[in-house]
Amino acid sequence: MRRMSRGPRLAMFMGLCALGGCAEHSPFGTFMDSTKNCTEMVLRGDIQTVAQVREQRFLGKVPETTARCLGGKRVENLREEPWLDWPNYWAAGDATSLAPARLLSDAKVIGPNAHGINAALYELELQRIELIKFNLFDNNKTYQAYMTGRDGEAGPVLNTWPEMRLPESHPDFKAVGGDQTQVCRGELIRFRTLTGMCNDIRNPLMGSTHQLFARNVEFDTTFPDLSLNEMTKNRHGDRLGLLKPDPQVISRKLFTRKQSKPVVSLDKSQQDKCREGYGLPDSAKEAECDYEKAPFFNVLAAFWIQFMTHDWFAHLKEGHNRPEWMVVGCATQLVQNIEQPVTGEEAKRLGCRPDDKIDAASIAEGTKPETFTQGGKTHLTRAPKTTANHVTAWWDASQLYGYDERSSRRVKRDPKDHAKLFMMPLKNGVSVGEELGYLPVFESADPINPEWSGQEATAFPDNWSIGMSFYHNVFAREHNVFVSEFRKQTARTPDADSGLRNPADPDRVIRYKDVTPDELFEVARLVVAAEIAKIHTIEWTTQLLYNEPLNRGMNANWGGVFAKHEAVAEALREVVRRLGDSEDAKKVNSLYAAFAAGPGIFGLGNRVYDGVPLVGLINPDKEDRWDLKNDDHINGGVNHFGSPFNFPEEFITVYRLHPLLPDLIEYREWDNEPNIIRHKMPVIETIRGKATEAMRQKGLSNWALSMGRQRLGALTLQNHPQFLQNLKMNRLQSSTRQIDVAALDLIRDRERGVPRYNEFRRQYGLKQLTSFDDFVDTRVPRNSSVRLKQEQLVKTLREVYGQHQCDASKKITEAQLNDDKSPINDCLGHPNGSLIDNIEDVDTVVGWLAEFRRPHGFAISETQFVVFILNASRRLFSDRFFTSSFRPEFYSALGVEWVTKNGPGPEMIEEGAPNGHQQPISPMKRVLLRTMPELAEELQGVVNAFDPWARDRGEYYSLEWKPREGAEKDEAFANK
Ligand code: HEM
């Protein structure tokens, strides 16, 4: 471990203290209360610092004294395992993780609990900094400049790239400066543009529709199936291929949900109650499709993330891939480590289909990439193949508003008020929410893929489901509610300054009455997009990662931890000022990231004070000099860390979250005894046009209640929905017209060259596994049913992926070294020549689903999480509208207030102190209350809209499944 010298140690420790909020009393509160172990640890400098080179990275493992200081004996015992240490620190779990004989409030202020949380936050920040430093690989030919620098400037601080200029053929080429320096100005920077261009005013193309996906892993580790270099050959031998190991066999053996009311039963009295996800006739409530449930996350949360991904990325263009049809497996399997064909009988037994076919993934560039040499090493300039993102990469609500000309034609504006989206009330007078209406349905003239006919008209209609219908209607209502409120304000104060300005005419005050319907439409879009980003960051994610360190971490990302701590903020400004002079470009970037956690990423740079380099903090005593005429102010808050922003291919992999979906939705009615489940509605009967039908028949608030109360599926093996393994799609050119989406998830990752699980972890700075047994959660008691199931699954992994005789002379990675600094070889620490598990071959999705050991309250695995740490914050850091342009000039005064306070008027505070925090009523709850006021009673006890609505949240991050007061009769609590 590298130790720190005294000065930086103090700064880092301050950062640690501050990140955890221990500064509430004094910035040195944690210091003062250190236990002996902790004091020793700090004085000896046992604090890991940012690695200089890749092989020295922090792998989430700390020395023994540190472990004992932060979590007592329990942590020590778990240190030998590959998983992160921080989840075992004091107070990082539920009430049982709190240090003995300490009060709950300790977790917030001082003592072991504060140590635990602060250290966890410190380690998370360290990981983020190292991820920024080692995991950015852009495919747009900027990588060489990132490595070698340009015109005397170091690569990691470059912030404009020729590759991000508009080409001559672009209609706005001249407007941004043509052949000269390109800068977007005037109308082009006023609102979010349709294609996402000009978000960064000096990099017009960045993040726009059809730009290439980036990578987070070294280019030469991608496409392992192609055996392009010695290292991948050593790592995988000849064991990999597009259909090797067979994806449908993997799906059927490792992904299928086991049913207690089986599909094939000799006992006639035992009816099949799932029927591959189709349930029973008339959606009878007696239907049953078993699934493993996550008790602290609801079905609304599952569909939320599908709704988000439709905004962020799409490999498919208008619902299509390349028009080239390929078989998808169900052809071979390993039997006792030997590959054998799958016979017809065997296919039947497994449930897979050899005749399924799918269109192959689109590839943007497949030619051999160029190379360059630096420091004696040859690097690829891009991955061996690249793919394009066919929507904007920005968090701009493009799924609602459009991402190109064609998709924008699917968005209907209200003919009576052009600022609004067109919504049609269907059941007048039933409730306030109903009056706000529903999206219209596509008309025959609309530019759509025929599969989408009958669906609600919106920009991104692919893979439409009841959940997509839900969120598109909710946020269309929210858009209109904002417009109505703006109009009310206009009626009250027509001559008052709206706060808006036109960058093309920056000195002109725009009064409320001057705002045109088109301008107001765009302002509402900005507000809705920012609200969505806020909901995702501080409400959805804090429930996905339900523990105290992440609660603080995510809130820090958004609002910062220093808003109320000016003294600490000043100290940090000083640190940053000094670091700003540093010549080490990567260091500057790292520290920028770390200290942005002070003021929060959101709003970074939207205030400018004389002589203060750290942007973003609100300082009421100083004059804000932010100026719309100053390009550096408009764009000054963004930081791309030397690599243009787009999502990496690896990000899509960890969002393949299909197991979240149940097969059946437990349907309830808000005005008719919500505790009773009335129907079990198959999700498969509520997709595409049928979603629209179901939405209109049953109504938004009944679906809100139903999905709000039901638990979603746990992200684990053997928990994929039956209906997605047997999905029918008309566009498929095969005899079956069906596809196993779970198997397709593996195929797509292979087509796009995602490294397999173990190298994926090494690339992201996580410890490798050395056998399938490492997946077993050793904290679970031996012989318990949970442990036995995990051990059984490990056997199945071994059966499916096989074993090989290892060769210690073969080096398999350059990302990490063994603890003794020797290269990692094919034997992974086992004796040369021994039979070892093919852990290197495990598909990444399979690997992260197999992580039975999770940090407390994590619905996802640590491998997925580390991908989010990097990309979720980059998505905020890079977006001008979430940083320096989050200003009334763009959002209007009302818009800024709406996003900041979760709606109009004064901030509303939640009752009590959930998990020890007094907090505003959450943003999604406020949206639900505005768009469906009839749910007010149901939502009264709800603190987080993504926690099952009838669950008692208990004292401190409890995951228990027990009813809150008033919901004791809810049927969902009868069957655990
Ligand atoms: C009824 C619900 C759903 C249906 C019918 C559905 C269907 C599909 C299909 C057919 C594909 C494959 C497209 C292809 O590569 O050819 C796909 C991809 C995907 N699905 Fe789903 N899905 C559903 C829900 C979800 C949910 C809840 C998530 C959660 C995040 C999700 C995340 C993804 C992702 C990340 C991809 C890859 C997209 C890309 O490559 O750009 N899906 N889905």
Percent of the chain's residues with pLDDT above 90: 75
**pLDDT score at 599:** 57
Q: Is the pLDDT of residue 5 over 70?
A: no
Q: Is the pLDDT of residue 581 over 50?
A: no
Q: Average pLDDT in the 727-731 region?
A: 91
Task: Specify the range with the lowest mean pLDDT, choosing from 15-19, 694-698, 820-824.
Answer: 15-19
Q: Quote the CA–CA distance of 768 and 1 in Å, as a whole number.
A: 18
pLDDT digits (tens, 9 = 90+) for 875-893: 999 999 999 999 999 999 9
**pLDDT score at 262:** 64
The model's confidence at residue 120, banded by pLDDT at 50, 70 and 90, is confident
**pLDDT score at 737:** 96
| Protein residue with its CA nearest to atom 5 in ligand 1 | 463
**pLDDT score at 110:** 63
**pLDDT score at 595:** 57
| Protein residue with its CA nearest to atom 33 in ligand 1 | 656
| Protein residue with its CA nearest to atom 38 in ligand 1 | 314
Among 741, 849, 868, name the best residue to mutate to test ligand 1's pocket (greatest count of ligand atoms within 8 A of Cβ): 741
pLDDT digits (tens, 9 = 90+) for 362-388: 999 999 999 999 989 999 999 999 999
User: Which of 11, 52, 1 is closest to 579 using CA atoms?
Assistant: 11
**pLDDT score at 21:** 33
Ligand 1 proximal residues by C-beta, below 6 Å: 302-303, 305-306, 309, 313-316, 321, 463, 465, 652, 655-658, 660-661, 683, 687, 741, 744, 748
Atom of ligand 1 nearest to the CA of 302: 27
Q: Give residues with Cβ within 8 angstroms of 801, minimum separation 6.
A: 245, 334, 772, 837, 838, 839, 841, 842
Q: Average pLDDT in the 945-957 region?
A: 96
Q: Average pLDDT in the 630-643 region?
A: 93
The model's confidence at residue 77, banded by pLDDT at 50, 70 and 90, is confident
Mean pLDDT of the chain: 89
Instruction: Determine if residue 765 is left, alpha or beta; phi over 0 gives left, psi from -120 to 50 gives alpha, anything else beta.
Output: left
Among 463, 470, 744, name the best residue to mutate to test ligand 1's pocket (greatest count of ligand atoms within 8 A of Cβ): 463
pLDDT digits (tens, 9 = 90+) for 153-208: 899 889 999 999 999 999 999 999 999 999 999 999 999 999 999 999 999 999 99
The model's confidence at residue 642, banded by pLDDT at 50, 70 and 90, is very high
pLDDT digits (tens, 9 = 90+) for 530-564: 999 999 999 999 999 998 888 887 777 776 544 44
Q: Is the pLDDT of residue 116 over 90?
A: no
Q: Quote the CA–CA distance of 476 and 412 in Å, as a whole number.
A: 10
Q: Strand 417-421 relative to strand 338-341: parallel, antiparallel, unpaired? A: unpaired
Q: Is the pLDDT of residue 88 over 80?
A: yes
pLDDT digits (tens, 9 = 90+) for 893-910: 999 999 999 999 999 999
Quick count: other Cβ atoms within 10 Å of Cβ 106?
A: 22
| Protein residue with its CA nearest to atom 11 in ligand 1 | 741
Tell me, in angstroms, the distance from the centre of ligand 1 to residue 656's CA.
7
**pLDDT score at 220:** 96
Atom of ligand 1 nearest to the CA of 305: 30
**pLDDT score at 302:** 98
Q: What residues does 664 pair with on adjacent strands?
A: 682
Tell me, in angstroms, the distance from the centre of ligand 1 to residue 314's CA.
10
Helices 299-312 and 700-709 pack at an angle, to 10 degrees, of 110
Q: Strand 803-805 relative to strand 835-837: parallel, antiparallel, unpaired? A: antiparallel
Distances (CA, A) of 470 to 382, 476, 477, 864: 40, 10, 11, 26
**pLDDT score at 39:** 62
Among 209, 306, 660, name the best residue to mutate to test ligand 1's pocket (greatest count of ligand atoms within 8 A of Cβ): 306
**pLDDT score at 177:** 97
Looking at residue 274, its amino acid is C
Q: DSSP alpha helices (H): ranges in 419-516?
A: 432-436, 466-492
pLDDT digits (tens, 9 = 90+) for 404-422: 999 999 999 999 999 999 9
Q: Quote the CA–CA distance of 353 and 771 in Å, as a whole number.
A: 31
* CA angle centred on 45, ends 42 and 49, rounded to 5°: 110
CA-based radius of gyration for the chain = 27
| Protein residue with its CA nearest to atom 20 in ligand 1 | 656
Contact 727, 741 (CB under 8 A): yes
Contact 152, 172 (CB under 8 A): no
Tell me, in angstroms, the distance from the centre of ligand 1 to residue 744's CA.
10
Q: Is the pLDDT of residue 760 over 80?
A: yes
Q: Average pLDDT in the 947-964 region?
A: 96
Tell me, in angstroms, the distance from the centre of ligand 1 to residue 935's CA.
30
| Protein residue with its CA nearest to atom 10 in ligand 1 | 741
Q: Quote the CA–CA distance of 561 and 599 in Å, as a whole number.
A: 6
**pLDDT score at 106:** 45
Which string of DSSP letters, residue by residue, matches 616-659?
----TTS-----TT-HHHHHTT---TTS----BHHHHHHT--GG
Task: Specify the range with the lowest mean pLDDT, choosing from 47-61, 495-509, 871-885.
Answer: 47-61
Tell me, in angstroms, the distance from the centre of ligand 1 to residue 21's CA.
38
The model's confidence at residue 240, banded by pLDDT at 50, 70 and 90, is very high
Q: Is the pLDDT of residue 572 over 60?
A: no
Among 251, 299, 309, 754, name the best residue to mutate to test ligand 1's pocket (greatest count of ligand atoms within 8 A of Cβ): 309
pLDDT digits (tens, 9 = 90+) for 121-168: 888 888 888 999 999 999 999 999 999 999 998 998 899 999 999 999
Tell me, in angstroms, the distance from the centre of ligand 1 to residue 959's CA.
28
Does the bond joining 245 to the residue before it have cis omega, within 30 degrees of 0? yes
Q: Quote the CA–CA distance of 230 and 237 in Å, as a whole number.
A: 10
pLDDT digits (tens, 9 = 90+) for 258-275: 988 765 555 555 678 999
| Protein residue with its CA nearest to atom 22 in ligand 1 | 463
**Helix (H), strand (E) at residue 791:** helix 785-801
Q: Is the pLDDT of residue 102 over 60?
A: no
